Chain A
Amino acid sequence: MIFSFDLLVNAVVSGILIGGFYAAVTAGVSLSFGVLDIVNIAHPAFIILGSYTAYLVNTTLGVDPILTSIVLAPAFYALGAAIYQIYYVSFEKRGQESLRGLAFFFGLLFITEVSLVLYFGVDYRYVEASYIGPTWHFGFIDVPLRIVVPFLVSLLLIATLQLVLTRSFVGRAIMAVAQDQLALRLLAVDPIRIKRIAFGISIATASLAGAFLIIIQPVEPSVGREYIGRVFAICVLGGMGSLPGTVIAAMLVGIVESLTATFYGPSWAPAVSFGFLLLTLAVRPAGLLGR
């Protein structure tokens, strides 16, 4: 372990930047798990799907991946709404979400990943964009643009989401459905429809998160798996459904991972977030900003 101040600062900076991206990745789960109480462990698979759709459009039409992901977000929204409808009818209504619902999402995770392997193969794929490549230098701090851009857009995404959840009627209905379905019905709002919208939004964020991912690093179908634990760790640490909490937790995890990778080697990095998760669950299940 060679300790140097340069290395430390760079590690922290890149941890913060990656953390912003992690927050975007987790935002969808904050919504589906934190607010709706749906354990969608297939969320990372949808993110990888987002990466591949961005990749396809980028290689065939040369369009910027982030732009693609925004354009395709409605399609992902529709997918999410459809999945929720199946989930609701098959599991939530019957009270079987704990076993079969989980197995359902696990099955979806598998189907998505294996389908991608069959269609695209296991080679790493990457996209081209003007900001992938250049690196800004601030003294001894190196900041690759391909991480900065997703970082900025991630924060924008989260800010937009937070605004929608706190200011719009649909957004507030979503936050309310977690707490009091009966009250919603009395306001002539169908809780099932609200949950469908929320889950749709959750999957729509996966489209963008996928684009961010493939900008930051090359992607192959099994990359999603290392994000499962990360995403739930951040969600729980961030207090389950609190978007500001998610951002803080994401940056914390990003920094610790980055420091671990820099000083102990990258092969230990996957264990960090999972270790975080186990620790959080054991010690403070309500998260940092616990509700």
Chain B
Amino acid sequence: MRSDFFLLICIAACAALYGAAAALGNDYVFFAGYVVLQYVVLSTAWNILGGYCGYVNFGSAAFFALGAYSTIAMHKLHPLPIPLLVLVGGVVSGVVGLGMGYLTLRLRGAFFAIATLALAVVLQTLVVNWDYVGGSRGAYIVRPETLAPFGPYIRYLFTIMLLLAAGAVTVARLIERSRPGFGFATIRDDELAAEASGVPTLRLKLVATMISGALMGMAGAPFPYYIGFLQPSSAFGLDYAVNSIAMPLIGGTTSWVGPLIGAVLLGSLQQIATVTISSAVNLLIVGCLLVAFVIIAPNGIVGLVRQYIQHKPEDFVGRRKVEADAPEHAP
């Protein structure tokens, strides 16, 4: 199926979703749905670098918050309509992703992962100390009550996130089926062999980091309007970090379907759960699920479904470990 056709189907699905939500008559659906859709974008974005290339980003919250805070900064400088803010958030996060990637992607994946953790903390410290965007006190954004033709403002935000989610999924699917998708897979499988086969690994990794970061920033840009009052602790929140990793890993990392399934399932569960149980228990469950899936079902839900359909146990496709593997530098 060609990508533009797929995008059309996505948009049709979005319209259907919107219609269904509106029919339910309760605006809470839009509030909850916004969060789930946000996670669709975040997980899909994470998976482009994590699932396709094999580079773990622990700092999803940082890119998300960058998007949110560039909105706040722009709001004070020169208010813009949200779609433009989304673009700004994407550009800012993309550029930061590129910069960080340039510093760390020439090193092993483990160092990149640790560096992303570092980035999150450094950025949070910077924001907390930057009074222009409110610092630790937080920043208010006054949002209108309604916006025609949507009615309640939340419906407008929901639509934006819906379109972003459709876009993110389309981009992921496009990448998967194109030459970069093959390139990313070789980086994940064996970077040394990829280089030897002519794959420009650094360039591809930088591209993946940029796209991933930009998408996360775009997801964060409307957030101040959703939440009204933005504090660093909520923008840089723990739940973003763990969910953007747990959702793709639980859903399945090898295709665009996995993060979507993971985000919808886990996101919805969490929205239901926050009403009934505390957010701490919520996060505990996510953490346990993550560990359980990673050990027992490494291919995620997508993998389990494939296994069920093919009626044979699916061994995980990992690099074949030869006993007494000669170390890299063996003469």
Contacts and interface: CB of A to CB of B under 8 A. Distances in A.
Interface of A: 33, 37, 39, 41, 86, 90, 93-96, 98-100, 102-104, 106-108, 110-111, 114-115, 117-118, 179-182, 185, 225-226, 228-229, 232-233, 236, 267-268, 270-271, 274-275, 277-278, 281-282, 285
Contact of A110 (B54, B115, B242, B320): B242
6 contacts: A41-B58, A90-B298, A98-B109, A104-B294, A185-B324, A270-B125
Interface class of chain A by DSSP = helix
A104 B287 CA distance: 9
Nearest to B253: A99
Given A93-B321, A182-B324, A281-B111, A103 B121 contact: no
Nearest to B114: A232
**Which of A106, A277, A285 has the largest number of chain B CB atoms within 10 A?**
A106
Nearest to A111: B287
B122 A278 contact: yes
Interface of B: 50-51, 54, 56, 58, 103-104, 107, 109-111, 113-115, 117-119, 121-122, 124-126, 128-129, 136, 188, 238, 242, 245-246, 249, 253, 280-281, 283-284, 286-288, 290-291, 294-295, 298, 316, 318-321, 324-325, 327
B286 A226 contact: no
Contact of A102 (B56, B103, B115, B125): B56
B117 A99 contact: no
A118 B284 contact: yes
Smallest CB-CB A-B distances: 7 pairs:
A110-B287, A95-B319, A107-B291, A274-B118, A95-B318, A271-B125, A182-B324
Nearest to A235: B114
Given A90-B294, A228-B114, 10 more contacts: A39-B114, A99-B253, A104-B294, A107-B288, A110-B287, A118-B280, A228-B117, A236-B111, A274-B119, A278-B115
A100 B136 CA distance: 34
Contact of A233 (B56, B104, B118, B320): B118
Contact of B280 (A102, A106, A117, A229): A117
A111 B286 CA distance: 9
Contact of B284 (A104, A115, A229, A268): A115
A94 B315 CA distance: 10
Contacts of A94: 298, 316, 318, 321
Contacts of B253: 99
A274 B242 contact: no
A282 B105 CA distance: 10
Given A229-B121, A267-B128, A98 B295 contact: no
A104 B291 contact: yes
B50 A99 contact: yes
A274 B54 contact: no
Contacts, number: 142
Given A104-B295, A271-B125, A39 B118 contact: no
A98 B290 contact: no
A41 B114 contact: yes
Contacts of B104: 278, 281-282
B125 A267 contact: yes
B249 A103 contact: yes
B291 A274 contact: no
Contact of A278 (B103, B125, B126, B128): B103
Contacts of B284: 110-111, 114-115, 118
A107 B294 contact: yes
Contact of A106 (B103, B290, B327): B290
Contacts of B51: 99
Nearest to B190: A95
B128 to A, nearest CB: 6
A55 B298 CA distance: 37
A147 B102 CA distance: 39
A86 B292 CA distance: 11
Contacts of A271: 121-122, 125-126
A185 B324 CA distance: 9
B103 A281 contact: yes
B253 to A, nearest CB: 8
A110 B283 contact: yes
B252 to A, nearest CB: 12
A78 to B, nearest CB: 19
B110 A39 contact: yes
A104 B288 CA distance: 10
Contact of B114 (A104, A111, A185, A277): A277
**Which of A110, A179, A282 has the largest number of chain B CB atoms within 10 A?**
A110
Contacts of B324: 181-182, 185
B327 to A, nearest CB: 7
Given A41-B114, A93-B321, A106 B58 contact: yes
A271 B121 CA distance: 7
A12 to B, nearest CB: 23
**Which of B114, B246, B295 has the largest number of chain A CB atoms within 10 A?**
B114
Nearest to A97: B110
A95 B103 contact: no
Contacts of B56: 98-99, 102-103
A271 B122 CA distance: 5
A103 B297 CA distance: 13
A126 to B, nearest CB: 22
Nearest to A33: B110
Nearest to B189: A95
B287 A229 contact: no
